[in-house]
Amino acid sequence: MGLELAKAERIVKGAIARAEEMGVKLSIAVVDEAGHLVHLSRMDGAPFLSPQIATGKAYTAAAWQISSGEIEQRAQSSPAFFSSVAAMTQGRTIIRRGALPIVQDGRVVGAVGASGGTSEQDEEAVRAGIAALG
Question: For the chain, which residues make up each domain, given as ranges?
Answer: 5-131
Rounded to an integer, what distance in angstroms lies between the CA atom of residue 29 and that of residue 59?
9
CB-based contact 129:15 (threshold 8 Å): yes
Rounded to an integer, what distance in angstroms lies between the CA atom of residue 19 and that of residue 46?
11
- For the stretch 52-98, pLDDT in tens is 999 999 999 999 999 999 999 999 999 999 999 989 999 899 999 99
> Following DSSP, what letter does each residue of 26-84 receive, concatenated?
-EEEEEETTS-EEEEEE-TT--TTHHHHHHHHHHHHHHHTS-HHHHHHHHHH-HHHHHH
* Banded model confidence at residue 21, pLDDT cuts 50, 70, 90: very high
pTM: 0.95
CB-based contact 71:82 (threshold 8 Å): yes
* Banded model confidence at residue 1, pLDDT cuts 50, 70, 90: low
Q: Which helix (H) or strand (E) holds 114?
A: strand 107-115
Sign of CA dihedral 74, 78, 81, 83: positive
Superfamily of domain 5-131 in the CATH hierarchy: Haem-degrading domain (3.30.450.150)
